[in-house]
A and B are shown apart, each in its own frame.
Chain A
Amino acid sequence: MKPRQWLWLAGAALILVSNAVAWLGVAYNRSGEPESRVVLGPREWRRVSAPGGASDRNDLVLSLHWRVADTVNRDDDDEAYELSGGLGHAAHVTWLDEPHLTALGFDVALLMRRGQQGAPGFEPARHVIVVLELDGPARQAALEKVRRAHALATARLRALPADKALVTAVQHAEGWLAREELENSRLFAIDAGNDGIALRAKYPDRSRYLLLEGEVRASVEKHRGQVRVRGRLMSLLVPQITVPRKWRQALEDPAAAARFGLREDFSLVMAVGRRFEPWIESVASPKPPTPASP
Chain B
Amino acid sequence: MSTPTSTEAQRRADQISGFRAELERLTAEGLVLAEQPPWPAIAAHHDRLLAGYAQAFDIDADARAHKLSLGMRVASFLGALAMAASVFYLFYQFWGLFTELQQAAILLTASLASLGLTAWLSGRRGAAYFTKLAALVAFACFVLNLTMLGQAFNITPTDKALLPWAALAFVLAYACDLRLMLAAGIACLAGYVAARVGEFGGLYWITGGPRPENFFPMAALLLAIPAVFSQQRHAGFAALYRVGGWLCLLVPMLMLSHWGVASHLDADPRFVEGAYQVAGFVASAAAIAWGARQGWPETTTTGIAFFVIFLYSKFFDWWWAVLPKWLFFLVLSLSAVLILWVLMRVRARGVLR
Contacts and interface: CB of A to CB of B under 8 A. Distances in A.
Q: For chain B, what secondary structure do more than half of its interface residues adopt (helix, strand, loop), or is it mixed?
A: helix
Contacts of B116: 12
A7 B174 contact: yes
B154 A10 contact: no
Q: For chain A, what secondary structure do more than half of its interface residues adopt (helix, strand, loop), or is it mixed?
A: mixed
Which of B96, B172, B260: most chain A Cβ within 10 A?
Answer: B96
A277 B95 contact: no
Given A7-B171, A15-B115, A122-B261, A277 B99 contact: no
A17 B161 CA distance: 12
A124 B204 contact: yes
B97 interface: yes
A258 interface: no
A213 B96 contact: no
B92 A58 contact: yes
Contacts of B156: 213, 237-238, 275-277
Interface in B142-175: 142, 145-146, 149-157, 161, 164, 167-168, 171-172, 174-175
Given A7-B171, A122-B210, A124-B208, A56 B112 contact: no
Interface residues of B, number: 56
Given A11-B115, A114-B261, A19 B104 contact: yes
A187 interface: no
Contact of B119 (A8, A26, A55, A117): A8
A289 B89 CA distance: 41
Nearest to A51: B96
A240 B99 CA distance: 18
Interface stretch (B44-52, B55-63, B263-271): B263-271
8 contacts: A11-B168, A26-B153, A59-B96, A119-B268, A122-B210, A124-B210, A238-B156, A238-B157
Ranked nearest first, the 10 interchain pairs of A and B with the lowest CB-CB distance are A58-B96, A59-B96, A127-B204, A11-B171, A124-B207, A18-B164, A7-B175, A125-B207, A8-B119, A124-B210
Interface of B: 89, 92-100, 104, 107-108, 111-112, 115-116, 119, 122, 142, 145-146, 149-157, 161, 164, 167-168, 171-172, 174-175, 198, 202-208, 210-211, 260-262, 266, 268-270
Given A11-B119, A14-B164, A57-B95, 17 more contacts: A14-B168, A17-B164, A18-B142, A18-B164, A19-B149, A22-B150, A58-B92, A58-B93, A114-B269, A119-B261, A125-B204, A215-B207, A238-B157, A245-B97, A245-B100, A248-B96, A276-B156
